[in-house]
């Protein structure tokens, strides 16, 4: 049984090219084309395809809003963005809208065919340049987070916390880190103040929960 696909792009030459390539695949067929987002939504609801290839910049209703409406009406449909836009705001909004993939228009068709098959396995496909942007944004958000041990404690404090959680004595920690016992005690005090924790047992639980140690 063929994978039923709708093409949504306001450029006819793009749709023609995609149709030609898709129909060379033995297990895919184009069931309809849309030149704007509103038509894409209507066709998706009427025809219930498995996949919609969605441009973002379209008249009347843009691809992001069209994706949101399609997923709301028929969540089983996989929408894959195929866009010339590599800006973070477009990528993130398409993913928030429920898109199962995001590829740039300069991608090879083999990559697009792979993305379609990946989406049908209930997985998300991002082309490499898009993936780098998404990962970069994720890392930035983690760095802004106030709850992570890596943002709350300084590097030396994390070292001390791990060693405490693993059962090392103050003297042993001082020896391992080549500092005085008093310095270790000061670090421990600062750690407890920052985390609002009052016992080594609670520090140990916290360190395990945050991934500093697996003990």
CATH number of residue 194's parent domain: 1.10.10.10
Mean pLDDT in the chain? 91
Are residues 88 and 163 part of one domain?
no
Are residues 176 and 124 part of one domain?
no
Are residues 119 and 65 part of one domain?
yes
Give me the DSSP letters along the chain. -PEEEEEE-S-HHHHHHHHHHHTTSTTEEEEEEESSHHHHHHHHHHH--SEEEE-SS-SSS-HHHHHHHHHHH-TTSEEEEEES---HHHHHHHHHHT-SEEEETTS-HHHHHHHHHHHTTT--EE-HHHHHHHHHHHHHHHHH-SSSHHHHS-HHHHHHHHHHHTT--HHHHHHHHTS-HHHHHHHHHHHHHHHT--SHHHHHHHHHHTTS---
Query: Of 94, 128, 162, which closes a domain?
Result: 128
pLDDT tens string 30-85: 999 999 999 999 999 999 999 999 999 998 899 999 999 999 999 999 999 999 88
Are residues 112 and 155 part of one domain?
no
pLDDT for 20 beyond 90: yes
Question: What is the C-alpha to C-alpha distance for residues 215 and 210, in angstroms, rounded to an integer?
Answer: 12
Are residues 90 and 13 part of one domain?
yes
Query: Of 128, 162, 194, which closes a domain?
Result: 128
Residue 136 lies in a domain: no
Which domain covers residue 165, as residue numbers? Answer: 149-209
pLDDT for 146 beyond 60: no
> What total number of domains does the chain contain?
2
Residue 195 lies in a domain: yes
């Amino acid at each position: 049984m063929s994978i039923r696909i709708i093409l949504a792009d306001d450029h006819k030459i793009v749709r023609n090219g995609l149709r030609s390539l898709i129909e060379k695949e033995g297990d895919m067929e184009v069931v309809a084309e849309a030149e704007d987002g509103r038509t894409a939504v209507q066709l998706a609801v009427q025809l219930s395809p498995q996949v919609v290839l969605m441009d973002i910049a379209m008249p009347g209703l843009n691809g992001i809003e069209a994706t949101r409406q399609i997923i709301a009406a028929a969540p089983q449909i996989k929408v894959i963005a195929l866009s010339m836009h590599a800006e973070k705001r477009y990528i993130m909004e398409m993913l928030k809208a429920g898109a199962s993939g995001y590829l740039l228009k300069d991608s090879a068709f083999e990559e697009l065919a792979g993305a379609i098959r990946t989406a049908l396995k209930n997985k998300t496909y991002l082309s490499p340049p898009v993936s780098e942007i998404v990962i970069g944004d994720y890392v930035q958000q983690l760095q802004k987070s106030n709850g992570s041990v890596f943002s709350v404690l300084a590097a030396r404090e994390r070292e001390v916390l791990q060693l405490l959680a693993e059962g090392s004595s103050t003297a042993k920690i001082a020896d391992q880190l080549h500092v005085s016992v008093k310095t270790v005690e000061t670090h421990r005090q600062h750690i407890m103040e920052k985390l609002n924790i009052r016992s080594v047992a609670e520090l140990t639980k916290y360190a395990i929960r945050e991934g500093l140690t697996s003990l």
